[in-house]
C-alpha cells in the first residue's frame, strides 16, 4: 500500500509517485518492523547494527538516486522518499543512506574515473564495502574550505597526512573518500587545491577512534581519523576533483537529502503524537478531544506539510536540472527547523512517557540535533541564503 496516511500526506503531494520510485519507497517502508524491533537496543548500546545495514542493501536502498548498473534507478523524488522513510523509522539508518550513498558513493560517481566507478559503486550499493566521506577536521568544520590535511606527491604515490573528525563509517569499515590539499609542484593547476582521494582504511598510517559519548544518532558510528603518511597510488585521486568547488558539488547534491531526512523525523513524531492524543485519557476524555490539543496537532501538521512542500519542490527542480545549491540550503534549514519543532511538540504531548525510548520520539528528537548541524549548520546555510538576499558575503 501507500506508505503515508491521507492525513500525513495532507495535500496528496506524493500520490503521483510510481514505478521504481514507488517500489523503493515501499521497500523502505517494509523495513519499519524489522528495524524498530532492534533499533532502540542498538541506540541505547551505541552499537552500529550491521545486520540492519545489510537489510537496507538487500532491499536496494543504498543508491540515493545514483545510476549504478544492476540497481534501481530512482528520480530525485524517489531517492528523497527513501531517505525520508528511513529517517521516519530511524535517524541512524537514514544517515547510513546519506553517508554510504549520498556522500561516499556520490563523490566517486560525480568525480571519479570509470575504473573507480566500476570498482567501488557496485560494492558500495550492495554494502559489500562500507564507505566514508572524510571532509571535516578537528579545526575546520564550517570553514572546511580551509582544511589542512595534505596529499603530497611522491613519485607514483600520494602521501596523505592529517586528521579528520566526525566521519561516519570512518572506523572499522572499508574505504574513506578523504579530502586533502594537494602538494604537487609538478602540477601548478592542482598544487594547493583541494582534491578527493580513495583511501582504504586498512592501510598503514590510517587509524581511527570512535567518537564516544554521542547522544544523537547513536546507532551509527562516527570516527576521529588520523592519517600519518598514508601512501596511496596516483590513481586513488578522483580525477574530476580539481578544487573545493567540486567538493561543494557533492555537498550541494546531498543537502536536499538532509531536508528529506528531517521530514522523515517530523512525520514519525507527528504520527506518534496524534495517535497518543487519541489513546490517552485525562480528565475523563481523550487528550485529542481538547481544543488546545487539536490546535497543536493542526499546527504540527501545518509545519509538516510546509516541509513536504519544500522537499517536493526541490525534487522537481533537481529533476529539471535547475536546483541551485542555495535552494537546497534553504530546504535544509526549513526542514530541520520544522522537524525540531514537531519533535518538541510531540515530546510534550506524550507527557512523561515522551522521554522513554520505547515511544521513539525522544530518539528522533535527539537524532535531529545531528541533522541540524551536519552538512553545513543551520546558521551557515542561512548565511548562504542571506548572501543572495544582501548581495554581499558575511563570511570573511
Ligand atoms: P563549527 O564550525 O565550529 O560551528 C560552531 C557554531 O558556530 C555553529 O553553530 C555554527 O553555525 C557557528 N558558526 C560557524 N561559523 C560561523 C559564522 N561565520 N557566523 C556565524 N556562526 C558561525 N563531516 C564529514 O566530513 N563527514 C561526515 O560523515 C560527518 N558526519 C557527521 C555526523 C555527525 C553526527 C555530526 C555532528 C557531524 C558530522 N560531520 C561530518 C561534521 C559536520 O559537517 C560539522 O559538524 C559541521 O559542518 C559543523 O562544524 P563544527 O562541528 O566544527 O562546528
- DSSP structure string for 270-291: HHHHHHHHHH-EETTEEGGGSH
In this predicted structure, the answer to whether residue 354 has a pLDDT above a threshold of 90 is yes
Distance from the alpha carbon of residue 377 to the mean position of ligand 1, in angstroms: 6
**111: which 3 cell numbers?**
568525480
Q: Report the SS3 class of residue 42.
A: helix
Closest listed residue to residue 277, CA positions, set 261, 263, 292, 289 = 289
pLDDT tops 90 at residue 360: yes
> How close is the Cα of 113 to the center of ligand 1, in Å?
30
pTM: predicted TM-score of the whole model, two decimal places: 0.98
The ipTM, to two decimals, is: 0.99
Give the Å distance between the CA of 214 and the centre of ligand 1. Answer: 15
Atom of ligand 1 nearest to the CA of 99: 28
- Kindly indicate the confidence band of residue 1, based on its pLDDT and cuts at 50, 70 and 90: confident
- Residues having CB closer than 6 A to ligand 1 are 99, 133-136, 141-142, 166-168, 216-217, 222, 370, 373-377, 379-380, 395
Q: What share of the chain in percent tops pLDDT 70?
A: 100
**pLDDT at position 265, please?**
98
Q: From CA 243, how far away is CA 237, in angstroms rounded?
A: 12
Which conformational region is residue 27 in: left (phi greater than 0), alpha (psi within -120 to 50 degrees), or beta? alpha
* Cβ proximity of 80 and 311 under 8 Å: yes
**Res. 396 pLDDT band, cuts 50 70 90:** confident
Burial of residue 396, with CB atoms counted within 10 A of its CB: 0-12 exposed, 13-18 middle, 19 or more buried: exposed
Say whether 375 is catalytic: yes
Given a contact cutoff of 8 angstroms between Cβ atoms, the answer to whether 133 and 117 are in contact is: no
Residue nearest to atom 45 of ligand 1 (CA): 374
Amino acid at each position: 500500500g501507500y506508505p503515508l496516511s491521507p492525513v500525513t500526506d495532507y495535500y496528496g503531494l506524493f500520490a503521483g509517485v510510481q514505478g521504481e520510485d514507488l517500489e523503493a519507497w515501499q521497500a523502505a517502508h517494509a523495513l519499519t518492523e524489522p528495524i524498530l524491533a532492534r533499533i532502540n537496543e542498538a541506540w541505547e548500546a551505541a552499537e552500529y547494527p550491521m545486520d540492519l545495514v545489510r537489510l537496507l542493501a538487500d532491499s536496494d536502498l543504498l543508491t540515493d538516486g545514483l545510476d549504478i548498473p544492476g540497481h534501481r534507478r530512482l528520480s530525485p523524488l524517489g531517492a528523497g522518499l527513501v531517505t525520508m522513510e528511513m529517517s521516519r523509522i530511524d535517524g541512524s539508518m537514514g544517515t547510513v543512506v546519506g553517508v554510504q550513498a549520498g556522500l561516499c558513493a556520490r563523490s566517486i560517481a560525480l568525480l571519479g574515473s570509470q575504473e573507480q566507478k566500476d570498482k567501488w559503486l557496485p560494492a558500495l550499493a550492495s554494502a559489500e564495502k562500507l564507505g566514508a566521506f572524510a571532509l571535516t577536521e578537528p579545526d575546520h568544520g564550517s570553514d572546511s574550505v580551509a582544511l589542512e590535511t595534505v596529499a603530497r606527491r611522491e613519485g607514483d604515490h600520494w602521501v596523505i597526512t592529517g586528521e579528520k573528525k566526525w566521519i561516519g563509517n570512518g572506523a572499522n569499515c572499508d574505504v574513506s573518500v578523504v579530502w586533502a590539499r594537494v602538494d604537487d609542484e609538478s602540477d601548478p593547476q592542482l598544487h594547493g587545491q583541494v582534491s578527493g582521494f580513495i583511501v582504504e582504511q586498512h592501510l598503514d598510517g590510517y587509524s581511527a577512534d570512535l567518537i564516544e559519548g554521542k547522544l544523537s544518532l547513536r546507532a551509527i558510528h562516527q570516527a576521529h581519523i588520523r592519517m600519518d603518511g598514508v601512501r596511496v597510488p596516483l590513481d586513488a585521486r578522483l580525477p574530476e576533483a580539481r578544487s573545493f568547488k567540486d567538493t561543494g558539488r557533492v555537498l550541494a547534491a546531498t543537502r536536499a537529502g538532509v531536508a528529506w531526512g528531517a521530514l522523515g523525523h517530523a512525520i514519525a513524531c507527528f504520527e506518534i503524537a496524534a495517535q497518543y492524543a487519541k489513546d490517552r485519557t485525562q480528565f475523563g476524555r481523550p487528550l485529542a478531544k481538547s481544543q488546545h490539543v487539536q490546535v497543536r496537532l493542526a499546527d504540527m501538521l501545518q509545519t509538516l506539510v510546509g516541509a513536504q512542500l519544500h522537499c517536493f519542490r526541490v525534487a522537481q527542480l533537481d529533476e529539471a536540472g535547475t536546483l541551485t545549491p542555495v535552494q537546497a540550503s534553504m530546504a535544509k534549514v526549513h526542514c530541520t527547523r520544522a522537524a525540531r519543532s514537531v519533535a518538541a511538540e510531540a515530546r510534550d504531548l506524550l507527557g512523561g512517557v515522551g522521554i522513554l525510548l520505547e515511544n521513539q520520539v525522544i530518539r528522533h528528537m535527539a537524532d535531529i540535533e545531528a541533522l541540524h548541524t551536519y552538512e553545513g549548520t543551520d546558521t551557515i546555510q542561512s548565511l548562504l541564503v542571506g548572501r543572495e538576499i544582501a548581495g554581499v558575503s558575511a563570511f570573511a
